[in-house]
Amino acid sequence: MQLTDELRKEYESRFAVLQIRPERSKEVDALIAKMIGGRTRYEAVSAATKVPWFVIGSIHGLECSFMWDCHIFNGDPLDRRTVHVPSGRPVKGQPPFTWEESAIDAMEFEGFTSWNDWSIAGTCFTVEKYNGFGYRKRGIPSPYLYGGTQFQMKGKFTSDGHFDAFAETKQIGATAIFRRLLDSSVIIAQDAASIANQ
Distance, in Å, from the CA atom of 34 to the CA atom of 66, rounded to the nearest integer, reads 7
pLDDT one-digit tens code per residue, 139-195: 999 999 999 999 999 888 877 777 888 788 899 999 999 999 988 878 866 554 543
Beta partners for 28? none
Q: pTM, whole model, 2 decimals?
A: 0.91
In angstroms, the CA 73 to CA 31 distance is 19
pLDDT tens track for 64-114 = 999 999 999 999 999 999 999 999 999 999 999 999 999 999 999 999 999
* pLDDT single digits (tens) 53-74: 999 999 999 999 999 999 999 9
